[in-house]
């Protein structure tokens, strides 16, 4: 498995890092604006994609409907 990771171009890793960073920033700022715990949402956004964003949108939508 280590050999296959070394074959991935650096541009792909850079794109993944940028995507995760952008998602984490978006979730952090959105959570802070809506009164949720921003560090939890930002941290979750840094480690996986796209589940935290989907969960945030679902929870945020449910709260607005109440």
- Tell me the pLDDT tens digit for each residue of 19-57: 999 999 999 999 999 999 999 999 999 999 999 999 999
What's the token pair of residue 21?
Answer: 């960073």
Would residue 3 count as lying in a domain? no
Question: Which has more pLDDT, 64 or 7?
Answer: 7
In a domain, 4, yes or no: no
**Which pLDDT score is estimated for 6?**
75
Confidence of residue 66 (pLDDT cuts 50, 70, 90): low
Residues 8 and 10: their CA atoms lie apart, in Å, by 7
Domain count, the chain: 1
Q: Answer yes or no: is pLDDT of 65 > 80.
A: no
pLDDT of 2 over the 70 cut: no
Domain that holds residue 49: 12-65
Tokens representing 28?
């952090």
- Let me know if residue 2 belongs to a domain: no
In-domain check, residue 37: yes
């Amino acid at each position: 498995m280590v050999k296959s990771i070394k074959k991935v171009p650096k541009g792909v890793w850079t794109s993944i890092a940028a995507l995760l960073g952008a998602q984490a920033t978006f979730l952090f700022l959105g959570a802070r604006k809506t009164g949720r715990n921003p560090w939890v949402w930002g941290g979750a956004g840094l480690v996986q994609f796209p589940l935290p964003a989907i969960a945030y949108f679902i929870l945020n939508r449910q709260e607005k409907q109440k």
